[in-house]
Structure 1
């Protein structure tokens, strides 16, 4: 058993396959609101992804640009943003093998936590939609606590909620600065996740490209 040991995950592009979820949502939204002609739908989705910049740009600015670029006159950015906030979670999906790994870790006695940089309650709704909440002992969204990764304080807050020391924690994330450097700064071990095998981290303790190999990566930390 691994009592008093914890594994803490990032959400977007770590547990949540945000890119796939976003494309599914946008495919629905562009059809539901009839935003552009059929021949422009793929272009609209691609431009959203470019403007979104992996979630770094808030969606009011994204929609404002898209409305201008595609000359959308029948829906305001406020209407489309409200749809994004309320409907995105309906399309939230995990990376393959995530749920099986979370169940396996819980069975092995690990405490499991989440730290997400993002807005509340938007991120909580996306997380709840994955059906994993029962396995998590701590869930932290940055806006709710007034802290953001890589601030060491948010990692220490997670440790406090889980009742563990940082040295007994492993952090799993996809952002080298926010996740990997932030976690290492408080003494956690780290696993860098990216679905593209060509993208790895030189500073993480382990690299992971498919959750089916998670246990192997975990053993590599010993």
Structure 2
């Protein structure tokens, strides 16, 4: 197996479990705005909240994400922060993320042998908050956020920027991500081998062929050992 000098990672749904964070965000909104909702209705609200979030994934204007949800399920109480949806989201959502011990252990083992970095799309404020709140900033040698550099995955320039910062060549680098188009196709455009993290074993119905596919984070160790 080829010996690599660096591994780059996506953030959401790769290093951090965004699905769990969305569940936690729903709980915060539910406690803030509703009470005495029948369990069946609450379950429906959660599913609809996830649907609205998925439609707005990558959309920085969270009022467009939550307003349709509030229209469907009128609030009994207003949000904090003068009922400003964006302020409420920006404050609470980054704090909904956590990182599991298995991921920390795997990163520590990888870091002993190769350089590591993060490339993530999104708002600088929100992505930095996620990274700082989970202490990920202490493990990575470079962290690139799309808003701060002016281009985003799958644009090959954001991958090339990370290569320059780590002083490594594309052929000596792996990129790990969960999104087949933004992550895998994007890194391939820059000449980097892409490892598709696919824990739910989603069928790949695209023409994009990852270099490798893993269903658990710790399986990445086999690519450096």
TM-score range, shorter chain: 0.7 to 0.9
- After TM superposition, the score normalised by the length of structure 1 is 0.87
Correspondence for 2:111? 106
Equivalent pairs, count: 216
Which of 173, 187, 191 is matched with 1:187 structurally?
191
Aligned partner of residue 134 in structure 2, secondary structure: coil
Task: Output one character per residue of 1:131-167: Cα deviation in whole Å (capped at 9) or x when no partner.
Answer: 2211101101101111111111110011111111111
**Within 1, Cα distance between the matches of 2:189 and 2:183?**
10
Between the aligned partners of 1:96 and 1:195, the Cα distance in structure 2 is 17
SS at the partner of 2:50? helix
Distance change >3 Å, CA 5–CA 78, structure 1 → 2: farther
Report 1:22-101 matches (<5 A): 22-31=22-31, 33-35=32-34, 37-39=36-38, 40-53=41-54, 55-57=57-59, 58-72=61-75, 74-75=77-78, 79-94=84-99, 97-101=102-106
Give 1:51 shift: 1.1
Distance in 1 separating the partners of 2:173 and 2:65:
36
CA shift at 1:116, angstroms?
Answer: 0.5
Q: What is the TM-score of this pair, normalised by structure 2?
A: 0.86
- Cα-to-partner distance string for 1:44-86 (whole Å, 9 max, x where unaligned): 2211110111724442112110121112264269523322111
Q: Which moved more, 1:170-179 or 1:199-208?
A: 199-208
The separation in 2 between residues aligned to 1:105 and 1:93, in whole angstroms, is 20
Q: Which runs of 5+ in 1 are unaligned?
A: none
Show structure 2 runs of 5+ residues with no match: none
CA apart distance, 1:123: 0.7
**Paired residue for 2:213?**
207
Q: 1:199 to 1:78 in 2, by over 3 A?
A: farther
Q: Deviations over 1:183-213 (max 9, x none)?
A: 0111111100122134458611110111132
Counterpart of 1:117 in structure 2 is 121
For residues 91-132 of structure 1, what are the alpha-carbon distances to aligned partners after superposition, in whole Å with 9 as ceiling and x for unaligned? 202356211110001112x11110111011101111222222
CA distance in 1, matches of 2:26, 2:52: 13
Whether contact under 8 Å (1:67, 1:73) holds in the other structure is: no
Question: C-alpha root-mean-square deviation of aligned residues, in Å?
Answer: 2.4
